[in-house]
Amino acid sequence: MNMSTSTQSVTGALTFETVPGLYRNSASWFAGTGELILDLAQVERADSAGLALLIEWLRHARAANRTLRFANIPAPVQTLIRINGLHDALPNHIP
């Protein structure tokens, strides 16, 4: 079986306004096999809806039997993760 790595870049905001569309558009990212890397370097801001989307993406990856890794998580998003007590829900993703 050929296990590959694919990378998707997430850009803009992860907010209540943008999350529903981004969630719909991201469904195809989880097809295939191997590791999926979601590069968050271009995320400008996030709120609690954005954090919920990160958790949902982890669930989606698990259901698709894929390994998911978040790369380049911006410092403000890391802070939101810690403040909201989600560090344990995102193991190996936050330094």
Confidence band of 93 (pLDDT split at 50, 70, 90): low
Task: Please report the domains of the chain, with CATH numbers, ordered by start residue.
Answer: 5-83 (3.30.750.24)
The encoded tokens of residue 86 equal: 């989600």
In terms of pTM, does the model score above 0.95? no
pLDDT 10s digits, 27-67: 999 998 899 999 999 999 999 999 999 999 999 999 999 99
The secondary structure of 8-64 as a DSSP string is EEEEEEESTTTHHHHHHHHGGGG-SSSEEEEEEEEEEEE-HHHHHHHHHHHHHHHHT
- In this predicted structure, what is the pLDDT of residue 54? 94
The encoded tokens of residue 16 equal: 């209540």
pLDDT 10s digits, 2-37: 468 899 999 999 999 999 999 999 999 999 889 999
- In this predicted structure, what is the pLDDT of residue 30? 93
Task: Report the chain's terminal Cα–Cα distance, integer Å.
Answer: 32
SS3 76: helix
Q: What's the CA gap between 25 and 45, in Å, rounded?
A: 19
The H or E element spanning position 92 is none
Average pLDDT, the chain: 89
- In this predicted structure, what is the pLDDT of residue 1? 44
